[in-house]
Amino acid sequence: MSLRSGNPSLKDEAFEKYNDAETGRTMTIQGTVNKTFILVLLVLATSVYSWNQFLSNPNSATPLILVGAIGSLIVALVTIFIPKISPFTAPVYALLEGLFIGAVSARYEAQFGGIVFQAVLLTIGVLLSLLLAYKSGLINVTQNFRLGVVAATGAIFLVYLVSFIGGFFGFEIPHLHEATPLGIAISVVIVIIAALNLVLDFDFIENASAKQVPKYFEWYGAFGLLITLVWLYLEILRLLSKLRNR
């Protein structure tokens, strides 16, 4: 079975070229779950720090967002290209991502009281629901399913890239960041695509562990899953803010 995920860090080449590269301990699903839990705790730790920094001084949010966003992006790219160092870079990524998420979440919370708690609950609910659906066989990860989610994910990131670059020239994609009915519908679609990426990540990690790749790929798999979780949380937060604005 071809391993494929919409997550750029979890792709065929990342695992398959290491199939017989090393001997000894190999990746397991439980090990990946444990590593994911550790990374989530690290994200929470620095999120609390940046959250408190925002409460004490709202002006501190911008530096934290920049450091967290740029730093986590650099570390993520290094990890994707050199998976073997993921036991070291994945925790660093989680800490930097936490700085970004905490400051961004604090800003949303200041504007819409209670929105962060709702977003966290919804993210956890989506994660557990899709995990249950995947393990029970309600969602069948076929090749067409993979290709569809991967294509949709690529289209979304292309739109975000155009929006980001266009922002420097005063160009904005209509409705993408607006609380209009169409803007809300767009956010709903993006949340659904982000959620479906979790299913691909579950399937990818399960198949990778079956291929008995090296043990350090537990960190790499956890790192990839964390990327999807962060994306899903931020999109849910964005959707809830649009609904509040209505």
pLDDT tens-digit profile, the chain (246 residues)? 334 455 555 555 555 555 544 445 889 999 999 999 999 999 999 999 999 999 999 888 889 999 999 999 999 999 999 999 999 999 999 999 999 999 999 999 999 999 999 999 999 999 999 999 999 988 888 899 999 999 999 999 998 888 878 777 777 777 788 888 999 999 999 999 999 999 999 998 999 889 888 999 999 999 999 999 999 999 999 999 999 986
In a domain, 6, yes or no: no
Is the residue at 7 inside a domain?
no
Q: Does residue 223 belong to any structural domain of this protein? A: yes
CB atoms within 10 A of CB 113: 10
| Predicted TM-score (pTM) of this structure | 0.88
**Domain of 160, in residue numbers:** 25-245
Q: What total number of domains does the chain contain?
A: 1
Q: Please return the burial class of 163, using the count of CB atoms within 10 Å of its CB with bins 0-12, 13-18 and 19+.
A: middle
For residue 180, is it within any domain?
A: yes
Q: Is residue 82 domain-resident?
A: yes
Residues 6+ apart with CB under 8 A from 104: 61, 65, 234, 237
Q: Is 18 within the bounds of a domain?
A: no
Is residue 4 situated within a structural domain? Answer: no
* Separation in Å, CA 194 to CA 40, 107, 132, 176: 18, 22, 17, 16
